[in-house]
């Protein structure tokens, strides 16, 4: 068992230790839910205060020309730096669900790919629902749902076999929401290209947690939310990436005025804007877009490789504790063991997972509250955001998991679940 002193020493040597102060932190609370909704950067009230008072309240309509029209482009430039692409290949706005529907529909309508959609049993439910809905709209589509013999890791050979047999459009989450499996992005992109297929990557759990290089990995299309590891706030806008070479081959099925070449000409005929601008739809949600920028700035400043290095160290500590101490108490690792195939959260299961989650959240006079998240039927997800999780935090988590089981304190909590877990 590693001593608390050793954890404190690791914190002292941590190159990212100063980043925590850039977030709004609650006293005596350890937040392990950044893989669902990241913490709020500390300067958000000031930034939104200015937007609300000076721009919305003061300058009103003039703010569009003075700053609001430029805001989405600025976010694109910053994401382009993080993901190695060009700002002209990234647009912000809408939820991930809407963007997924929009891009899958555009790909189907392009006629450039066979009418097959491949996804798998590790993908997030919204991705599966969108695909199921598209099948209703286009009965000719063949949906190929690849089911592995487990819920932790993809069987890449089986996936490839399916792509070879049914080439077309493939939709995968780069880092999966439950087990945190991390796909070999470049290998699969190249395989898809070889088989005249295209992968639409859902990067919701990937951006800000693992290094992603669109050019090096030969990624063609990606979408993702900004409210998890990027700390953009509840309902913050998602992003859509489409590689340059595809811009002229894909039409936006939502012909909105913000995707028009000259929206303020108010021409009754639609004329698509250049680059990826034609995948813009309607008025951008300025308040929530304004809140996204701080999280991107912090991630760029910290450096994604430093974030990944710390995340690896921290998740290995938890995995070691599960193996050495917690498995005898009924906890089971539900994430890949191999770090090169794992993102930045750890899933564990326990028959009393929901009660344990509640006990962790309650804390006590002498122990911090610990906020994990729960996924049915019995998974506890421990989200590691190295920008604000310290090594000492992990000591508390491991010790509290021990204590809750050994003291049977979780018996004090019932099985009823709240709406958002």
Ligand X SMILES: Cc1ncc(COP(=O)(O)O)c(C=O)c1O
Q: Can you tell me the distance from the alpha carbon of 100 to that of 106, in angstroms, rounded to the nearest whole number? A: 10
Exposure string of 66-100, with b = 16+ CB inside 10 Å and e = fewer, is: ebbeebbeebbebbbebbebbbbbbbbbbbbbbbb
Taking the complex as a whole, how short is the minimal distance between the CB of residue 381 and ligand X, in angstroms?
11
Which CB sits closer to ligand X, 97 or 275? 97
Nearer to ligand X, 280 or 345 (CB): 345
Backbone φ, ψ for residue 154 (5° rounding): -80, 150
Contact 307, 296 (CB under 8 A): no
- Nearer of residues 205 and 278 to ligand X, judged by Cβ: 205
Point out which residues bind ligand X (CB under 6 A).
95-97, 124, 126-127, 173, 177, 202, 204-205, 225, 238
Least distance (Å) between residue 228 CB and ligand X: 7
Least Cβ distance, residue 293 to ligand X (angstroms): 18
Question: Residue 250 in contact with residue 105, Cβ under 8 Å?
Answer: no
Helix (H) or strand (E) holding 381: strand 379-383
We find the least distance from the C-beta atom of residue 95 to ligand X, in angstroms, to be: 4
* Lookup: tokens for 10: 């690791």
Query: Please, what is the minimum distance in Å from the beta carbon of residue 18 to ligand X?
Result: 29
Backbone φ, ψ for residue 355 (5° rounding): -65, -35
Distance in angstroms (rounded) separating the CA atoms of residues 28 and 400: 14
CA 239 – CA 230 distance, rounded (Å) = 12
Q: Of the two residues 209 and 315, which places its CB atom closer to ligand X in the complex?
A: 209
Residues 6+ apart with CB under 8 A from 281: 93, 94, 102, 252, 254, 256, 258, 259
Q: Which residue number, 20 or 99, has a Cβ lying nearer to ligand X?
A: 99
Residue closer to ligand X (CB basis): 173 or 219? 173
Using the minimum distance from each CB to ligand X, give the nearer residue, 207 or 394: 207
Name the residue among 414, 420, 318 with its Cα closest to residue 358. 414
Q: Based on CB atoms, which residue is closest to ligand X, 234 or 245? A: 234
* Cβ atoms of residues 214 and 208 within 8 Å: no
Q: How far is the CB of 345 from ligand X (least distance, A)?
A: 11
Q: Are 66 and 51 in contact (CB under 8 A)?
A: no
Contact 182, 336 (CB under 8 A): yes
Bridge partners, 371 (sequence order)? 31
- Nearest-angstrom CA–CA distance, 353 and 376: 9
- Written in H, E and C, the secondary structure of 170-223 is EEEECECCCCCEECCHHHHHHHHHHCCCEEEEECCCCCCCCCCCCCCCCCCEEE
Q: Using the 8-state DSSP alphabet, how is residue 84 labeled?
A: T
Specify the residue, 173 or 252, whose C-beta has the smaller distance to ligand X.
173
Closest approach of ligand X to the CB of residue 107, in Å: 17
Decide whether 122 or 401 has the Cβ nearer to ligand X: 122
Residue closer to ligand X by CB (options 178, 260) is 178
Which residue shows structure tokens 């509840």?
234
Which one, of 189, 197, 169, 164, lies nearest residue 105 by Cα? 169
Least separation, in Å, of the C-beta of 403 and ligand X? 30
Cis peptide before 37 (omega within 30 of 0): no
Residue 330 has φ and ψ, to the nearest 5°, of 105, 0
């Amino acid at each position: 068992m590693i001593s608390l002193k050793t954890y404190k020493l690791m914190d002292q040597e941590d190159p990212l230790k100063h980043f925590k102060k850039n977030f709004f932190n609650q006293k005596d609370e350890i937040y392990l839910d950044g893989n669902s909704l990241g913490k709020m950067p500390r300067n958000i009230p000031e930034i939104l205060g200015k937007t609300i008072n000076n721009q919305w309240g003061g300058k009103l309509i003039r703010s569009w020309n003075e700053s609001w029209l430029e805001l989405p482009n600025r976010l694109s430039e910053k994401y382009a730096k993080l993901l190695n692409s060009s700002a002209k290949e990234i647009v912000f706005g809408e939820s991930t669900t809407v963007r997924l529907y929009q891009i899958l529909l555009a790909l189907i309508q392009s006629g450039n790919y066979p009418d097959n959609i491949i996804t798998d049993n590790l993908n997030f439910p919204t991705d599966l629902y969108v695909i199921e809905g598209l099948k209703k709209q286009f009965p000719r589509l063949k949906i190929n749902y690849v089911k592995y013999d487990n819920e932790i890791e993809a069987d890449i050979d089986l996936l490839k076999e399916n792509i070879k047999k049914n080439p077309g459009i493939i939709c995968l989450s780069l880092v999966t929401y439950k087990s945190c499996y991390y796909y070999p992005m470049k290998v699969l992109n190249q395989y898809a290209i070889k088989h005249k297929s295209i992968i639409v990557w859902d990067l919701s759990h990937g951006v800000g947690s693992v290094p992603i290089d669109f050019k090096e990995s030969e990624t063609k299309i990606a979408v993702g939310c900004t409210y998890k590891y990027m700390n953009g706030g509840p309902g913050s806008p998602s992003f859509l990436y489409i590689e340059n070479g595809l811009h002229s081959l894909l039409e936006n099925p939502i012909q909105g005025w913000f995707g028009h070449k000259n929206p303020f000409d108010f021409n009754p005929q639609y004329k698509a804007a250049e680059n990826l601008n034609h995948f813009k739809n309607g008025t951008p949600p300025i308040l929530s877009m304004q809140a996204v920028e701080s999280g991107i700035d912090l991630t760029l400043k910290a450096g994604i490789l430093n974030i990944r290095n710390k995340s690896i160290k921290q998740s290995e500590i938890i995995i070691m504790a599960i193996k050495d101490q917690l498995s005898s108490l009924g906890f089971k690792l539900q994430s890949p063991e191999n770090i090169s195939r794992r993102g930045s959260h750890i899933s564990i299961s326990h028959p009393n997972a929901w009660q344990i989650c509640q006990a962790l959240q309650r804390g006590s006079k002498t122990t911090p509250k610990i906020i994990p998240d729960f996924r049915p039927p019995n998974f506890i997800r421990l989200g590691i955001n190295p920008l604000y999780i310290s090594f000492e935090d992990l000591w508390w988590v491991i010790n509290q998991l021990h204590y809750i089981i050994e003291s049977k304190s979780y018996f004090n909590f019932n099985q009823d679940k709240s709406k958002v877990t």
